[in-house]
């Protein structure tokens, strides 16, 4: 496995791209309301990235993906395609996944939103999934193994009677969208490669209320839970520092 170690100059560029991606999620929140289409959310994100940030939406055209963001609603695990036909309704949960390219470098992040007031079981799933991400971030530092990261996520999810999606994972990122290493969201402590200062990657746990299995719809992108129960996901891009981690896509509502 060949892992790219980033220079301070490269990390600075990723910091800018990461902040832009976070900014898109901060901007779009007020528009996530009953009656809005996921197509409109995509259009607003596209216009912000291209016209305001003067950046590039990485998803648009990536391996043929037709839109600028992913909008994954309820039982959709990831890679939901925005559409005029998908109208958000009260009680929905939605993940919006944004990746921005600026000056050739990538920032990748996602956030869960509630459409109106969520049902208690949906709210709990979203909360536990975010805790899975945060617990993983807490242990990121040089010497931590990839197995350590996967284990802490899996343990917290399963202790709360949820399941971890194994069909998709986090990934290295830099001046390409996806690079080594793969960041699995399950694993055994002390296994796999150890983190090094200057490594940049995403952690993006997908946690299901029911079974872990997924299937991809005929559009070739949209992944849904096999039992059609709810799924949630949160994602950040980060860099391993000398003694810990810096979250490159941190939003102003968060404190790390």
Residue 185 marked in a binding site: no
Across 39-186, where does the E strand assignment appear?
56-57, 70-73, 76-78, 93-102, 105-114, 163-164, 170-172, 179-183
The residue behind tokens 């969201």 is 185
Q: Which residues contact 244 (CB under 8 A, 6 or more apart)?
A: 140, 141
Does a cis peptide bond (omega within 30 degrees of 0) precede residue 151?
A: no
Q: Is 235 annotated as a binding residue?
A: yes
Phi and psi torsions of 96, nearest 5°: -110, 120
Residue by residue, DSSP assigns 160-189 as TT-EE--S--EEE-SSSSSEEEEE-SS--T
Residue 218 half-sphere exposure toward CB, CA atoms < 13 A: 0
Instruction: List b or e across 62-99, with b for residues whose CB sees 16 or more CB atoms inside 10 angstroms.
Output: eeebebbbbbbbbbbbbbbbbbeebebeeebbbbbbbb
| Residue 187 near residue 151 (C-beta atoms within 8 A) | yes
Give backbone dihedrals phi and psi of 127, rounded to 5 degrees, phi first: -65, -50
188 near 147, Cβ under 8 Å?
yes
Tell whether 178 is in a known binding site: yes
Q: How far apart are CA 146 and CA 29, in angstroms?
A: 32
The answer to whether the annotation marks 253 as part of a ligand binding site is no
Q: What residue numbers does the annotated binding site for a divalent metal cation cover?
A: 97, 108, 171, 204, 235
Instruction: List, as residue ranges, the binding site for substrate.
Output: 79, 178
Q: Annotated binding residues, as ranges?
A: 79, 97, 108, 171, 178, 204, 235
């Amino acid at each position: 496995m060949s892992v790219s170690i980033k220079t301070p100059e490269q990390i600075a560029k990723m910091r800018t791209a990461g902040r832009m991606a976070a900014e898109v999620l901060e901007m779009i929140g007020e528009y996530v309301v009953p009656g809005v289409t996921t197509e409109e959310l995509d259009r607003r994100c596209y216009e912000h990235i291209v016209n305001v940030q003067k950046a590039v939406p990485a998803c648009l055209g990536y391996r043929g993906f037709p839109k600028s963001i992913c909008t994954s609603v309820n039982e959709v695990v990831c890679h939901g395609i925005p559409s005029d036909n998908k109208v958000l309704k009260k009680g929905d949960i939605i993940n919006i996944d944004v990746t921005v390219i600026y000056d050739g470098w990538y920032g990748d992040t996602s956030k869960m939103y509630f459409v109106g007031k969520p049902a208690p079981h949906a709210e709990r799933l979203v909360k536990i999934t975010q805790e899975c991400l945060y617990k993983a971030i807490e242990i990121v530092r040089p010497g931590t193994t990839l197995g350590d990261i996967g284990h802490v996520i899996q343990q917290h999810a399963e202790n709360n009677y949820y399941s971890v999606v194994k069909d998709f994972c986090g990934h290295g990122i830099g001046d390409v969208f996806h690079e080594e290493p793969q960041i699995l969201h399950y694993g055994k402590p002390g296994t796999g490669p150890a983190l090094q200062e200057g490594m940049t990657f995403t952690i993006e746990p997908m946690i299901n209320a029911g079974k872990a299995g997924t299937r991809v719809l005929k559009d070739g992108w949209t992944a849904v839970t096999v039992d059609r129960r709810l799924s949630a996901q949160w994602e950040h891009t980060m860099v391993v520092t000398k003694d810990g981690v810096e979250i490159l896509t941190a939003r102003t509502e968060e404190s790390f």
